[in-house]
Amino acid sequence: MSRLVRILGIAKGVQRLQQWQARLESLKEAARCEDDREQALAAVEIGGHRLEVARRGRGRFPFVPADNCFNIALSRVEAQTLPLAHVQISSETLTAVGAEASEHLRTIVGTLGNVQSAATVSRVDLFVDFVCALPMDAWPANTWVTRAHRIDAFHVQKRFSGWSIGLGGPIGARLYDKTLELKRSLKDYLKPLWREAGWQDVETVWRLEFQFKRSALKELRVDGLADLHAHCAGLWHDATRDWLRLSVPVAGDRNQSRWPTHPLWQALAAIDCQAVPGPSLSRLRKARIPGDEALFLNGLGGLTSFMAREGITDLEEGLGEFLVRAGCFHDQRRRESGRGFADYVADQVAVKEKRYNALRTETEETREAQARERTAVAAAYREAKEGE
């Protein structure tokens, strides 16, 4: 009887995956569509997550739904040699909820198909963020004592940005300027955590990070999340003592293994990642919403470029003229696209909501408020256009 139930359960799981596969296929086609209104439909809501469906797959995994928490690569029903899903959990999610992220993930993946076995860990990144007055390029490459063959130093606009050691192998390490990297990645959720630990905004934060791939994890007896928790300190110990070490050269001694360990490395290697957990985020962001810096610095590029082109220096004049010209431009394109300025803006908002995984909970009250807002915007646009 139990065998029959198991077989029926597998059949039901396959049927569910086939249904989802057909749905994801149509959403993937929508993501490829040139029409913005069709693109905006390429998202699916599961377990309180609004997942954007990518227009392309990843390797042998044809479907990639993702939000700020999870990037999921889903296999086809017939791909029996592949796992149901290969998932990358974002660092922000792990910072906010830690190992509980696996339960959130199991709910989502369990909706897509029949999850029968426990998740295995295919890659782990362990890191520590720290502040140090010592320049991180104050030593030559030969002071790194390591099993890795490749050591690289990097610069961004002539500013030293960090070291990479052994990347591409089973174990890799990076020591890099995290404050500089934040200007590109915009992961501002880290800054409150740093301040909580005593960071001053003007200080440079460096990150030492080790990446363990599946082959290294198997060798170190890490298979599932429970193993990872139990061996976390051991992984850090092996990485900072056996695999990589920063040394102080001794004049006349060519044997690196006899060189003493640098005081900075002694402090980093002594960190107990289980006894001293880092601070946690107060809330988890499921949406990939841009921050104020991205919106109000980078987002003003079009307006400032227009003002510079037209020789306008007054902000109010520039903003008004920009809206009028934009309206005229889209009115002229209406014959080809069938959409005016307001339609174009509404379509772009829908596309961005899909891209940012923004869950919109609509009620009669919110729909009426949005309608009033659209009416007010349209009236302001007509007034500006008539006053040209």
**DSSP 8-state secondary structure symbol assigned to residue 61:** B
| 261 and 327, same domain (yes or no) | no
User: What is the tens place of the pLDDT at every residue in 293-316?
Assistant: 667 777 788 888 888 988 989 888
Distance CA 231, CA 241 (A): 15
Mean pLDDT on 3-21: 55
| 318 and 180, same domain (yes or no) | no
* Sole residue written with tokens 């510079």: 308
Which residue among 112, 144, 170 closes a domain? 112
In a domain, 284, yes or no: no
In a domain, 277, yes or no: no
One-letter amino acid at 205 equals V
DSSP reduced 3-state for 232: helix
| 51 and 97, same domain (yes or no) | yes
Q: How confident is the model at residue 283 (pLDDT cuts 50, 70, 90)?
A: low
Number of H helices, E strands in the chain: 14, 12
| 177 and 99, same domain (yes or no) | no
Burial of 256 (0-12, 13-18, 19+ CB in 10 A): middle
One-letter amino acid at 166 equals G
In a domain, 195, yes or no: yes
In a domain, 20, yes or no: yes
User: Hey, how many other C-beta atoms are within 10 angstroms of the C-beta on 52?
Assistant: 21
The most confident of the ranges 35-44, 75-84, 259-268 is 259-268
Flag whether pLDDT at 205 surpasses 80: yes
| 134 and 260, same domain (yes or no) | yes
| 179 and 82, same domain (yes or no) | no
Give me the DSSP letters along 296-328. Answer: HTGGGHHHHHHHHHHT---HHHHHHHHHHHHHH
Which residue among 234, 269, 304 closes a domain? 269
In a domain, 254, yes or no: yes
Cα distances from 164 to residues 141, 153, 172, in angstroms, run 11, 7, 8
Distance CA 71, CA 50 (A): 12
Look up the pTM and report it: 0.67
Distance CA 220, CA 203 (A): 36
Chain-centre distance for alpha carbon 167: 20
Q: Give the structural domain span for 252.
A: 123-269
| 33 and 140, same domain (yes or no) | no
> For the chain, what percent of residues have pLDDT higher than 90?
28
Q: How confident is the model at residue 327 (pLDDT cuts 50, 70, 90)?
A: confident
Q: How many domains does the chain have?
A: 3
Residue 16, H or E segment:
helix 2-32
